[in-house]
Chains A and B, each alone.
Chain A
Amino acid sequence: MTELEQVFNDIVKQYSERLYWHVRRFTASHEDADDLLQEIFIKIWHALPSFRGEAQVYTWVWRIATNEALNWLRREKVRAALRFSSLDQEMDRRILSDPYFNGTDAQRELSRAVARLPEKQRQVFVMRWWDDLSYEQISAITGTSVGALKTSYHIAQEKIRASVSNAEIGRDD
């Protein structure tokens, strides 16, 4: 085994599970999350020879993963349009039909609300709420200032609260 392969294997051991949960929040589907994870690690393998330690390994790995997740969303948006649908509708359908969802109604509504957020708000919310990364870590990964991230997260929370409240009101009618 080469040194590069050893480094790659260590990255797989350390980050594969966390990155799976991260991309799963974007794809809302286990199968697509698995496929996307493979693509991410293929990219990591190809980029490894040129990684010179400019950033911490976790920052570099997370950056690749989060960029690929956003690229996946952009491709899905176009695919949805070609099927006469929208990304919001597609994500809703996935969340509602996910056979591996075993949470509460409130958790499902939360997922649906997050899926409707604009790209950047969704990204910071996923990383802060579900991935439990600090603002400083998210800032290093995304290149966005901590202040801007806090603002995005606050706005996302407000939108989610409104969305979940509307869903609850709808159910009470």
Chain B
Amino acid sequence: MTRNNDISTPQGYFDSLQQRLQAIPGKQQAGRPTVARRLMPYMAYAASLALLVAAGGFILRKTTAAPQAEVSEGSYYSYLAQSLDPDGGLVDLPREYGLSEEEIVQYLVDEGVSLEYLNETNDEKAY
């Protein structure tokens, strides 16, 4: 017994659901990924590790550079968010929205954002 009487689905949804799901094996075999695509998750994790190292280096450079405006730990991710946010605007994700580094990195990995893309996008915004 479930208590799901407060929500419903489009009419006939469950009539076709099983058929659609049971078609998955056929679609997955037809679109069998190439070696490169199978390696992509590992490449994404390698990219995310490289990103963390780059972020650490960035923060280290900024905190040991000549005196200038204080750079918070979250600013690299604000910088990152700006490149991903088409409307622009600086978003200090970690401080304002309580996001951790791990959450942001996992998001980037899940979205398939590569380090190359980030570097290309952020080149124009170099401090």
Contact = CB atoms under 8 A, between A and B. Distances in A.
A71 B17 CA distance: 23
A84 B90 CA distance: 10
Most chain A beta-carbon contacts within 10 A, residue among B8, B20, B22, B104: B22
A132 B3 CA distance: 8
B10 A78 contact: no
B110 A24 contact: no
B107 interface: yes
Contact of B8 (A46, A84, A102): A102
A133 B47 CA distance: 40
A77 interface: yes
A135 B99 CA distance: 31
Contact of A78 (B4, B96, B104): B104
B7 A46 contact: no
Interface residues of B, number: 35
B22 A9 contact: yes
A17 interface: yes
Contacts of A86: 97
Interface residues of A, number: 44
B81 interface: yes
Contacts, number: 98
A162 B81 CA distance: 36
Given A78-B107, A132-B2, A100 B24 contact: no
B72 interface: no
B28 A42 contact: yes
Most chain B beta-carbon contacts within 10 A, residue among A41, A45, A78, A103: A78
A81 B91 contact: yes
Given A18-B2, A20-B17, A30-B9, 9 more contacts: A5-B25, A38-B20, A42-B28, A74-B106, A78-B99, A101-B7, A102-B6, A103-B6, A132-B2
27 contacts: A5-B25, A8-B24, A12-B18, A12-B21, A12-B22, A13-B18, A16-B17, A16-B21, A17-B14, A17-B17, A20-B17, A30-B10, A75-B111, A77-B97, A77-B99, A77-B103, A78-B93, A81-B81, A81-B91, A81-B96, A81-B97, A84-B89, A98-B7, A102-B6, A102-B7, A108-B6, A131-B2
